[in-house]
Amino acid sequence: MSFQVPDDCRYLDSHEWARQQNGTVRIGITGFAQDELGDVVFVELPQEGDTVTKDEDFGVIESIKAVSDLYAPVSGTVTETNDDLLDTPELVNDDPFGDGWMIEVELDDESELDELLSPAEYREQIE
């Protein structure tokens, strides 16, 4: 099975993606990760104004069969969370790189993005 690995994202080896857009970075989990988890039923996210730290957990995702921590690909301050996931957590399964996004953060340090896996490197990891 081959999974989507969009070129406009950078990746963490724990299967989170980060996409830079309009001065903030949007974060979610990859298509591979949602497939591994199966039916997502619950996502616990930080609140606006909270800070997240690169490589540390910022939330929890639960599927019917498993529970998993979410790790921050970058450090920064949360500017927005995807409130749609409260009532429709299955968006993470349906559209992991789109409507299933999780949080947006204002970066502390832009260079952190360069430390993440490139699409090619991430693709190699999941194949």
**By CB under 8 A, is residue 94 in contact with other proteins?**
no
| First vs last C-alpha separation in the chain | 9
64 vs 120, beta carbon nearer other proteins: 64
The two tokens of residue 102 are 């999780």
79 contacts: CB under 8 Å, gap ≥ 6: 24, 48, 104, 105, 106
Min dist CB 100 to other proteins, Å, is: 15
**According to CB under 8 A, which residues from 53 to 72 bind other proteins?**
60, 62, 64-65, 67
Binding site for other proteins (CB under 8 A): 38-39, 41-42, 44, 60, 62, 64-65, 67, 86, 93
